[in-house]
Structure 1
Amino acid sequence: MDITKEILRELNLTATPLSNFTGQDKLARIKKLIVDSNGRVLRENNRNIHLSASAVVFNQDTMFFIEHPYLKKRLLPAGHVEFGETPLETAVREFNEETGYFVIPNKLYPLLDVNLINIPENTFTQEPAHTHIDFRYKLSLSLKKPIRAELETYLMGKYQVPNEFLKYFELVK
C-alpha cells in the first residue's frame, strides 16, 4: 500500500466535511507536507514527521479521553500509524488498546479533522521533537464488552475538555 496516495485520496474525498474543522489553508499545508515527504510519513522512516490517528468517541454527551503517559495531559486516544495500516485502522486499534472499549467507524465521513501537532522531545524513548500529522476520526462505541485498558480513561463533558476539543461537541445530537 502506498500510504501517501492513500492518505491524499482520503483527504481529497473528505475535503468538504473537513472544512468544518480543519480549514482550507491548514489542509493545503498538510497536503504539501505529505507530498514533500516522498511517502515517508511513518515513524520508522521519518524522524521529523509522523502520521498519527486519533479517535473522537462520544458516550451520550461525554467524550472519551486518556491520560497521556509522557505529556501528562488528557488527550484523545491516539497513536502512530504503523506500516501496512491506514490511519482509520490505527484510530480503531489505538482506541481499543488505550481505553479497552471497541468502536466502529462512522460510515458517513469518518474523517473529521486533520491537525498538525508539535511533539516535544521524549528522552525516555530517545525520540526527538517532531510533528504529527494527526487524522481524527469520529467513531461510535460498539456493544462489544470492553477489555482491560492500557491507560487511564476519562469521560469528559463539554465544559471539562481542553479548548482544542470543544468544537467536536457540535457533533453531539
Structure 2
Amino acid sequence: MTSPQELILKLQNLLTNASGADLQQFLAGLEQPGPAPAGDDLTPDGRIKVAMPSKNGTTTPQWCERVAIALQRANAPIYNLAGSPVYITDDGKTVYLNPNNFISAAEKYICPCAFRSKDDSTLVYQPMKEPLAKLTLSSMEFLTAIPELIKIHDQITPAMLPNGSYHLNQRGYDP
C-alpha cells in the first residue's frame, strides 16, 4: 500500500515532469486491487462466487479472507466496529452480525460455492451453514480484512467534505 507521503511525492514529481506517459504510469500505480477470490466468476445475478473450505485445497483461513475481499469488491456495507462485525442497513442503522444474520447479509453479495466433486473444479452454489458463518465472523482473517468503522454518530454532526464544503452527518452511519 502506498503511503500518503509517497503519493504526494509522486504527484509532485508528476507535475514537475508532466507528460502523458508519466500520467498514465502514475494512475496505474494508484490502482491496487486486493487478491482475487477463488472462483472469481460471477453468478447470473452478479454475486461473486467464493469457494468454501474443502478437500480440493481451500482452507478455512483462505475462505474467511476471500469472503472479506469479495464483500469489499461488492461494496457490501459490512465493517469491523471495535472487533465486532457489523452491517449497515439501507436506512443507516447498525446491526451487529451473528451467524444467522451474517448468512443472509453476506449472501446478498457473494455466492458460497463448493466444488462439484473432488476431481471437478466446477463451483456450484452451496448454502453457508451456521457453524461456518460463526467461524468466519470470529476469524482474524475476516476481521482484519474488512474495513474498520471508527465511529457511529449519536447525533447530527457537521463534516467538511474534500471539496471544502460542509455536510451534516445524520445520526448513525454516514459514509
Q: TM-score, normalised by structure 2?
A: 0.25
Larger radius of gyration: 2
Query: Which structure shows the higher helix fraction?
Result: 2
Q: Which has the higher contact order (CA 8 A, sep 6+)?
A: 1
Query: Which structure shows the higher strand fraction?
Result: 1
